[in-house]
Amino acid sequence: MLADLGTPPSVVDALDTRTAVRWTCARCDVSVGQIDDRAAPLPDTWTRTEGLTYCLSCSRARAADEAMDLLPDEITGEVRAKLRRKALIRFEITRSPASPNRVIASACRTSTMAVAAVRDEIDIPLSTGAVAADN
């Protein structure tokens, strides 16, 4: 069922050379930029989707909301909460696949076991360095 919970985020490409004096989130209007008004690249934690930019908080919320929009109305609140959490974990794993499970668990306010289970479902294994950091 998790595979049906929306699309992975469009994480900013490390080779993306676009810069701006200020970057503004399309959802919450928070903006970031250099204090001296120099152009800067989009922050690493922000995402781009269909030409729009989103801060990390809104990117997480959008991933969870998108998953909820795909569910039938008859699904119970408890099941919705579990699937929302899985969608959030999936977003974080896709956004930062090399991060140790404990880091993702902390960001999602869940257990490392829950992160490991979602990582297995979407088949994105931990790197060797991340496995050592998780132990």
pLDDT of residue 129: 57
- Residue 70 CA to residue 4 CA, distance in Å, equals 8
Contact 9, 47 (CB under 8 A): yes
Q: Where are the domains of the chain?
A: 18-124
Give the DSSP letter of residue 11: B
pLDDT tens, position by position, for the chain (135 residues)?
444 444 444 444 444 557 888 999 999 999 999 999 899 999 989 988 888 999 999 999 999 999 999 888 888 889 999 999 999 999 999 999 999 999 999 999 999 999 999 999 998 888 765 554 565
pLDDT of residue 17: 59
pLDDT of residue 123: 85
What's the predicted TM-score (pTM) here? 0.73
- Residue 53 CA to residue 37 CA, distance in Å, equals 19
Find the length of the chain: 135
pLDDT of residue 85: 93
pLDDT of residue 11: 45
- Residue 71 CA to residue 63 CA, distance in Å, equals 13
